Structure 1
Amino acid sequence: MAAQTETPAFTSYVALGDSFTEGLNDPDPEGGFAGWADRLARLLAEGRPRTPEGPYDFRYANLAVRGRLLDQIVEEQVPRIQQMQPDLVSFTAGGNDILRPGSDPDEVAERFEAAAARLRDSAGTVLICTGFDTRDTPVLKHLRGKIATYNAHLRAIADRNDLAVTDIWALRTLRDRQAWSEDRLHLSPEGHQRVALLAARALGLDTAEAPDAPWPATPVHTPAELRRENLHWAREHLLPWVGRRLRGESSGDAVSAKRPDLLPLG
């Protein structure tokens, strides 16, 4: 975790979303996943005093579940915010909708804004994230225009509703292969850390580490090695992902929220 010299006065945080916010492919010591939201919660908590019992004077919940579409997040997760009344909510949704054939980013954005307005009534601060720049990502690079359109809507929604924005599209270090896990669909642990740092700065936290710091040098692959790597990725990750969508299945069908209650962060 990065050191910090200034901490916003947040005492509670609830994360909403899909696999990105659940933290897929960022293993935690207990056998689950951490992810950028857990890392952001830790950054915020470390600026708070500890209670006599030991945990920080900071509560955190993560309701995100992999594979969830925007309407599912709105139905299952958004109503919990009215009950919890946290100081901070992160709301990242719509990415899975945009990836679906025939989806309309204009229409998805309308539904997103309606949900964001609901959250503003029940939380002190709402933080949203733009989508990734997929220019260098196989297959997904063809959706770059749709993602850019959706991002333009998200920035306008933030302006109209006074939301904080983590501008992931603009974070060029995430276009490096080291930011991504083997499946190329979810971030690596260091990629999640970069997003956590960017989110912290969007909230006014001064972090010692920079989200756009250069990556360490890596070996240069030959064209033949890259082809073998791409074939392995397509066989092991892309085809199963496409197959689930053709069958109408989701990787989160049997998954529940990893941290469903707003509890002190130890």
Structure 2
Amino acid sequence: MEWTLSYDLDEFMAAAGGFLHDDPARNTVALTVTGDMRAEGPQVRKDVLFGWWPAGGHVEGAFLWTPSYPPLLSAMPERAARNLADVLAERAAALPGASGSQAATEAFADEWKRRTGAASRVTMHQRLYRLGELEVPDPLPAGTARTANRDERPLMLEWATAFWTEVDEHGPVNTAMMDARLETGRIALWEAGGQPVAMAWWSPVVAGMSRVSAVYTPPEHRRRGYGAAVTTKATRSAMEEGATDVVLFTDLANPTSNAVYHRLGYRPVEDRMVLAFT
């Protein structure tokens, strides 16, 4: 086995941290998850299995797997992805899917299907964007930006659940992570007419990178520019905290959001995929 597996965050970061930090934009999810675990404690992600490849020498690939979620794969050689599928097939009878860089995810899925007989389907084609120069909407829609407060937790959970459902996320909303964002003032709201109409989160800065996520506007408030406005607020806040790389993911099946983020100054980095196994 060329993979080293561990449940120890410190061991994982000691071995693979340099690999992840070499490209913080592409490794945004792994860095955000591990950063949250270090800052907030293991309750934000429980029983995470980490891995790096090869077992010794220069690391060329990494993954992390939280139960009920698909394993998250970094970019890696295809043989590493296939080897990982073999390793996990010996440990788990089933996986919900896989996600990450396109080539690695496809190679992993091919070997997983060969080993287990499972079928797979693509649940999302994603695009990773990185901010070039922020282009603030002009004019901004009616309303103002502000930070969500603790009393709004029920609404934030309602919106996060709706967002997770729309994007077909595996597993429930990570309420521990949501609470961490809320407690640290990293949930932006756009308010119009005296009520919140859109939401966006951003992550703490790790290796100069912060990721905007959970951008959500309830259906009754859409097509008014609120999503772009609240994304602008979250982006600015991340930059004010010191982020030099501000990134986000989009669903390529949603041309509206891709166009909005492009107008805000976000530029494509790479395409990814999310697969479900059945």
Query: One fold, TM greater than 0.5?
Result: no
- TM-score, normalization: structure 2? 0.30
Q: Which has the higher helix share?
A: 1
TM-score between both structures, scaled by the size of structure 1: 0.31
